[in-house]
Structure 1
């Protein structure tokens, strides 16, 4: 996650709205070189993998990271990531990964490759929700912000992998493997209303080639956005917690 504190607060807010009481433990990859945060500060406020190795947890969430344009094995903490995914199979009841972490774990679990997109997938996208994920079925919306996508054949998925939410524009948005007790989310349900706007303005300021996020602004000049994925985010995370409780 490029903005650690912001992402942590987003998850805290989303889980604070759910029916179960949740205590979060934050973990950092010890093999990653952090540019803006001193290692001493990380050690004071976060755990590393070796410190929790002998512990068992109800759930594990691995967030996205702005490394999706790199081959998996060129990410500096790739080996540690693979170790964590393997460890979770025996120490965690349910795992949830998002964005790049979902692509990476699909590769670890099922050898699903990823491909670079011609244009960044950026905006709010609608998906059909499977009755397996929600008894009412229906539609959900989710923020997406990524330069790559997993290469999946919807009609011939590997192993027991199943698509729970599928979008015509953005592709599969929620997948699940009962065997691995793993839910893979290709976007960011946790995003606040202004997160995509901040990314957009940041890239504009850096003179990067960036199109306005799709299906997001009500009035771009005034910075007004349509925050219409909040209910979907609640449903997604609540269903995941319910899976742990069952």
Structure 2
């Protein structure tokens, strides 16, 4: 029984120590700027198409559902307000969760896991190079930045897609849609949405790096670590989404 408890607690402790070391690595000079830019481009390449393919169906679903409900109450002119609120507060962060954890984090875990089983991480330590500063910190920061950009992209896709879907398929007036955009969504909602996305990118990258650096058992262990990354990241990110959504509602209730 103690062994069953000790294992998860030890893994959790190692995760928090790695997180602290990663934050330290972000402010350690010289910062690995080239690695950061390479990882930004790497994460964008593996995440951009999944973002587009996931964002469009979510957008259509929310617009379709809200417009039907609005038409039932004779309030089709507020379609823009509902679509924008859904895109900014839910579609953007949720799609970011799915893409960052499902594509970006798994790619990071597979990369670091492959380096670990090839003993490249041990070689860096022998040379006196801190692998957290050299490899982990740039990846965590890159994932955070890309998550912010992906969230902004998904929000834009959601609003534009909702406009075309509402106007051309559900006969919503274009002017009424545009006029309704700022009714429920203002700067605080945008800021909270970006904060959520940044936290998602940060946590997903930390989980991926933690699993990648603790791979055991050769290539089979890398595959297992990738699967664990998806599961752990989804669990953590959805809990964070619930908490930040509740905080955001409290903060914007009076605005």
Q: TM-score, normalised by structure 1?
A: 0.27
The structure, 1 or 2, with the larger RCO (C-alpha pairs under 8 Å, 6+ apart) is 2
Richer in helix (by share)? 2
Richer in strand (by share)? 1
Larger radius of gyration: 2
Q: TM-score, normalised by structure 2?
A: 0.26
